[in-house]
Amino acid sequence: MELKWLEDFLSIATTRSFSRSAEARNVTQSAFSRRIRSLEVWLGAELLDRSTYPVSLTADGRAFREAAEEIVRLTYQSRASLGGRRDPLPQASLALTALHTLAVTFLPAWLNRLRADLGEIGTRILPENHAICMQALVEGGYDFLLTFHHPSVPIPLDPARYPSIIVGHDSLVAVADSTRIDDWRAAERLPLLQYSRGSFLGLLTSLAQGQPGAPRTYIAHINENSMAEAMKFMALEGHGVAWLPRSLVTAEITSGQLQIVAPELPMEIRLYRNAARSRGIVERVWNAAAEGYSETS
């Protein structure tokens, strides 16, 4: 077996395209396909389902992916150490996918707490929307998913295969430009900035908007990409009311730029793991995350 075969496999596991991976690996597509096939023959297992488009990993491919990542990492780490590099690669590495907002507000400080407990940790982070984050976790390329959670919006993950723990709390808060709010209230209806249909924060917003004390609204704008960060700046520019994670707008509420106009909806911040990925660092992070929350709650 050759190291480049593992790197080829990890490339196509990410791109799901023979042509794109061949280009990225700087070989012809036929040569790339032969190398992937050579790896499968050496392992005695089919790693790719070539009948789908884009190509997908088989169950064996998903199971082998973590091992391939670790073999490649350890090989390059050993080379760096033997070569006397002063900046060897991190001793451990995590693959984590997170909602855009949590990648901005919660994740940086949370990673610092983990490093304080466990030492230096390398990370590969995918900030995305809720659906893509779940897909990334299920397809086996990521160890953890960091997301908001509310019991009224269940997350369709098998708890045996994808267990979760609470690592923090936030709330969904309705905010609007402070200079416009009096005029809107006088009209007894407020313009609402709405998430795209079916989005996770959109479902939570529907719950929040149905609470007693929530303002009467009409839809002013629909944000098709469902990014809370984009909604925040629409609210700051006076386009209407936005339901946003409080952690994203704490500074603007404190400064008076944005005003809260409805009761908040509490949310948990949950860490989900792929139980099939069980490297030592994954177990240590999982345990440290659970203990760290219990100490602060």
Compute the 3-state secondary structure of the chain and give helix, strand, coil in percent, each to the nearest 5: 45, 25, 30
pLDDT digits (tens, 9 = 90+) for 181-238: 888 888 878 899 999 888 899 999 999 999 998 888 888 888 876 789 999 999 999 9
Q: Two tokens at 190? A: 């407020």
Supply the pTM of this predicted model. Answer: 0.75
pLDDT digits (tens, 9 = 90+) for 74-117: 787 777 667 655 554 445 678 899 999 999 999 999 999 998 98
The predicted structure's pLDDT at residue 64: 87
Torsion of CA 176, 177, 180, 181, to 10 degrees: 30
Delineate the domains of the chain, giving CATH numbers in brackets.
Answer: 3-82 (1.10.10.10), 93-169+268-296 (3.40.190.10), 170-265 (3.40.190.10)
Backbone phi, then psi, for 57, in 5-degree steps? Answer: -85, 140
